[in-house]
């Protein structure tokens, strides 16, 4: 924790002088990595990566850059793509959204356990419907972007060069797209390996401004050393010249326990009045280590500055991110002073609509639906699959949007055998989840870890109806239960949440915590269903910025 006395005093003073002319980061909290943004008139549209989760690529809308509404998904038909048995962290990588001549274009990568498929989907309305994928054959690498320029369409992506000097050296490449045939065409150009020795050079975007082409990339890997760098050219095909002030954004120079770290992978947007902003990802690590929420979306102002050197020609103009401090701060001035940041909404789903709300996701695509809404209840089939790497199983969840919350549901379930269970899970990925489940005659809490389970608590329970409640306090969880008309009883408390941390579980993690209903027959076929009456999720932090105060020791 940061305990420097002068820093704490500064933080406390900044909180004391905060007003409604400021907004707080992140603007899209919880699992929301790799943001890409596009402005169309007075409207802004933003998308994120989704990896193994489905529906894929959420589309958000805003008119003020700080309040975002989820309006659709670009990938909402399981026939559009293959996420069936991919591993944790595979699937839909960084995507780019662009608008041209009345059409929205999203270009993205589906990583099918190492086989990279790059494709484009389109829509005339960002709320959908979105088209079937147009696969671009022969496009290597990840994180593609598009630029529409003077009647031509350019694809920019990354790949491992044929002569890498080390593992992880990447190179940015460019090629024209025939948008009528959905095919790469013409010569391929190799543009840049970045400013930082090309370590995981990725996430490229090209912008055209005042006759110059600016190539923005991410480097250093999406952890503490993440960074943004930029190069310039007079021709889109290069050569590109490095900005001598690179990287233009990074927190790599800050302490590991700085409240916001791993910043990078950004996209720029110009406002109608000529101002510019960047949307970037960042981590909020608990105690400087545990990124349980995954990477999130942060908003940061930027400006453009021309080199001051009297002796140099030409004098280039470069983007300057967060010009006052060079960092992504907790608070910045509102982009539109008359549009304040609203409180984060809670989720209260009574399952009384014709379809699940947009906030719900499943893990992977499924051949057949495993759930339905009926008479105000969510009916969940007990599939044979259980939480395991690359498996498909009956789970529906919503993103954990904060470090402090309470979530509750009521379950009706009668197990037909000892193999059947249903309940609620807090899940990081296939490698780690906390599961509270009702089985024949017992209610249990266990940690699902690498295809195994470790029981943490268990009590006899003979009823077929139970209310379940999870209370989260950063890295500590509390699990409670009750009969339909009974008071809450503790099943387990002070449960260690570090078991859900990417820093602890085996293998790198690109996603964040979800919570939701889970049911399984543990490898056997079953006709049993679990019935859920509702799911309610409520943030319990005393303020939107409580996480920051805790991290700097200002509470």
Q: Catalytic residue numbers?
A: 34, 202
Q: Are 530 and 412 in contact (CB under 8 A)?
A: yes
Token code pair at residue 459: 């009590």
**What is the C-alpha separation between 267 and 236, in angstroms, rounded?**
18
Cα-trace Rg, the chain:
24
Find out whether the peptide bond into 239 is cis, omega within 30 degrees of 0: yes
Cα–Cα distances (Å) from 4 to 7, 12, 126, 430, in that order, read 5, 12, 47, 39
**What is the C-alpha separation between 210 and 207, in angstroms, rounded?**
10
**Closest listed residue to residue 268, CA positions, set 35, 545, 531, 540:** 35
In 225-342, DSSP assigns E strands to 227-233, 241-242, 249-250, 261-270, 276-283, 296-306, 317-321, 331-333
**What is the C-alpha separation between 237 and 33, in angstroms, rounded?**
29
Token code pair at residue 45: 């549209």
- Beta-sheet pairing, 227-233 with 465-473: unpaired
DSSP assigned state of 498: G
Token code pair at residue 433: 């989840």
Number of CB atoms found within 10 A of residue 172's CB: 29
Find out whether the peptide bond into 417 is cis, omega within 30 degrees of 0: no
Token code pair at residue 537: 């999720």
Token code pair at residue 354: 């014709």
Find out whether the peptide bond into 521 is cis, omega within 30 degrees of 0: no
What is the distance, to the nearest Å, from the Cα of residue 413 to the centroid of all Cα atoms in its chain? 33
Cα–Cα distances (Å) from 193 to 34, 157, 215, 467, in that order, read 20, 12, 11, 55
Measured torsion, CA atoms of residues 496, 555, 321, 35, in degrees rounded to the nearest 10: 40
């Amino acid at each position: 924790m940061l305990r420097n006395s002068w820093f704490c005093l500064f933080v406390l003073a900044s909180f004391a002088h905060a007003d409604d002319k400021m907004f707080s980061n992140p603007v899209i909290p919880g699992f929301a990595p790799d943001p890409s943004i596009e402005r169309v008139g007075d409207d802004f549209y933003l998308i994120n990566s989704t990896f193994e989760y489905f529906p894929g690529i959420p589309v958000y809308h805003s008119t003020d850059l700080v309040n975002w509404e989820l309006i659709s998904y670009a990938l909402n038909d399981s026939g559009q793509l293959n996420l069936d048995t991919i591993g944790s962290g595979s699937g839909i990588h960084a995507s780019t959204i662009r608008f041209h001549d009345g059409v929205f274009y999203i270009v993205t990568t589906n990583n099918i356990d190492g086989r990279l498929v790059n494709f484009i989907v389109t829509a005339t309305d960002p709320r959908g419907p979105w088209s079937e994928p147009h696969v671009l054959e022969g496009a290597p690498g990840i994180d593609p972007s598009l630029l529409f320029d003077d009647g031509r369409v350019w694809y920019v992506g990354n790949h491992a060069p044929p002569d890498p000097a080390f593992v992880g050296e990447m190179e940015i490449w460019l090629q024209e797209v025939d948008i009528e045939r959905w095919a790469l065409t013409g010569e391929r150009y190799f543009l840049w390996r970045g400013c930082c020795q090309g370590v995981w050079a990725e996430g490229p975007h090209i912008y055209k401004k005042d006759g110059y082409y600016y190539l923005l990339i991410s480097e250093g890997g999406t952890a503490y050393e993440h960074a943004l760098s930029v190069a310039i050219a007079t021709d889109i095909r290069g050569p590109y010249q490095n900005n001598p002030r690179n990287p233009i954004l990074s927190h790599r120079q800050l302490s590991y326990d700085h409240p916001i770290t791993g910043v990078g992978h950004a996209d720029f947007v110009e406002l109608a009045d000529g101002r510019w902003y960047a949307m970037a990802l960042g981590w909020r690590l608990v105690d400087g280590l545990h990124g349980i929420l995954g990477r999130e979306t942060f908003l940061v102002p930027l400006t453009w500055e021309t080199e001051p050197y009297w002796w140099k020609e030409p004098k280039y103009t470069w983007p300057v991110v967060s010009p006052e401090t060079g960092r992504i701060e907790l608070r910045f001035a509102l982009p539109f002073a008359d549009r304040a940041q609203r409180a984060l909404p809670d989720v209260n789903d009574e399952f009384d609509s014709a379809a699940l709300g947009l906030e719900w996701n499943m893990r992977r695509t499924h051949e057949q639906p495993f759930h339905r809404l009926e008479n105000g209840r969510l009916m969940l089939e007990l599939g044979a699959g259980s939480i395991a790497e690359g498996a498909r199983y009956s789970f529906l969840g919503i993103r954990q949007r904060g470090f402090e919350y309470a979530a509750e549901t009521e379950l009706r379930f009668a197990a037909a055998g000892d193999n059947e269970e249903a309940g609620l899970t807090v899940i990081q990925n296939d490698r780690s989840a906390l599961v509270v489940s009702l089985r024949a005659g017992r209610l249990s809490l266990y940690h699902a870890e690498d295809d195994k389970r470790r029981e943490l608590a268990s009590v006899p329970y003979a009823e077929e109806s139970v209310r379940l409640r999870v209370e989260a306090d950063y890295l500590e969880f509390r699990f409670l239960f009750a009969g339909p008309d009974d008071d809450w009883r503790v099943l387990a408390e002070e449960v260690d949440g570090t078991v859900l941390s990417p820093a602890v579980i085996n293998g790198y993690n690109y996603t964040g915590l979800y919570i939701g209903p889970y049911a399984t027959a543990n490898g056997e076929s079953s006709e049993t269903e679990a019935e859920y009456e509702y799911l309610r999720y409520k943030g319990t932090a005393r303020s939107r910025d409580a996480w920051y105060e805790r991290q700097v020791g200002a509470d």
